[in-house]
Amino acid sequence: MTDDAKPLAGRVALVTGASRGIGAATAIALAKAGAHVILVARTAAGLEQVEEAIHAAGGSATIAQLDLADGDSIARLAAAIDNRWDALDILILNAAMLGTLTPVAQIDAKEFSSVLTLNLLAQQALIAAFDPLLRKSAAGRLIALTSSVGRNPRPYWGAYGASKAALDTLVASYAEEVRNISPVRAAILDPGATATAMRRLAYPGEDQTALKPPEAVAERIVAILTGNFETGARVKA
């Protein structure tokens, strides 16, 4: 039986972009709910702080420092997890890059490539690498974080918005592909205006105290994972 206080006990979760912001808050919330959390990000110091917070609260976590732009590192991580655990129960695709907000005609090609690499290509690589492990779970769950600009184009947000629009389509397609052949379910979450470092870059003059904290989004993610949702669902925090 599942402990009501630890509804995710016995589950293994992986969170990308787990060193700060929504990713860090989500990792801590998942651990509080009983999951063992694999923390993925490039920044070692941030990952260590999150791991310490999880351990201090009585949870468990494993650090996996890597650059998601390196497709080989994703494959190696999947192999390592497969060797250690029977399955991956939860995959949270949170890591993303904002890039420069600029007119479409002035988008820097090199930076645009970097945005697409992290926000889209790395996400597909993660799905490809961990799909077999999600299918081994009795209830594999994938949640990808998106942005409203992926659906509602906004001036100067073309590069980031295009990457999120493509991610939405990618995850929605995956959700349909697993619908009738496995217990895996995938959902797309729009966190809305949240007090994060990325948001501060986009809106440097904004009062972040008026925004929801990352912890509110994390709580929403845990609620989604512990409830029932239709695969392919698009939800808001």
pLDDT score at 27? 98
With bands split at pLDDT 50, 70 and 90, how would you rate the model's confidence at 5? confident
- Residues acting as catalytic residues: 160
Sign of the Cα pseudo-torsion (70, 76, 82, 84, in order): negative
Using CA atoms, how far apart are residues 130 and 176, in angstroms rounded to an integer? 17
pLDDT at 2 over 70: no
Summarize pLDDT for 12-70 with one digit per residue, the tens.
999 999 999 999 999 999 999 999 999 999 999 999 999 999 999 999 999 999 999 99
pLDDT band at 4 (very low <50, low <70, confident <90, very high): confident
Q: Where are the domains of the chain?
A: 12-236
User: Using CA atoms, how far apart are residues 193 and 211, in angstroms rounded to an integer?
Assistant: 6
Q: Where are the beta strands (DSSP E) in 42-85?
A: 60-65
Instruction: Examine the pLDDT at 9 and tell me if it is beyond 90.
Output: yes
List pLDDT tens digits, range 174-231.
Answer: 999 999 999 999 999 999 999 999 999 999 999 999 999 999 999 999 999 999 999 9
Render pLDDT for 145-156 as a digit per residue (tens, 0 to 9): 999 999 999 999
Cα distance between residue 95 and residue 17, in whole Å: 4
Domain 12-236 has CATH 3.50.50.60: no
Tell how many helices (H) and how many strands (E) occur in the chain.
Answer: 8, 7
Residue 94: predicted pLDDT: 98
Look at residue 1 and tell me whether its pLDDT is greater than 50: no
**Residue-wise pLDDT tens digits, 77-114:** 999 999 999 999 999 999 999 999 999 999 999 999 99
User: 147 CB contacts (<8 Å, ≥6 apart)?
Assistant: 160, 161, 164, 190
Instruction: Give the predicted TM-score (pTM) of the model.
Output: 0.96
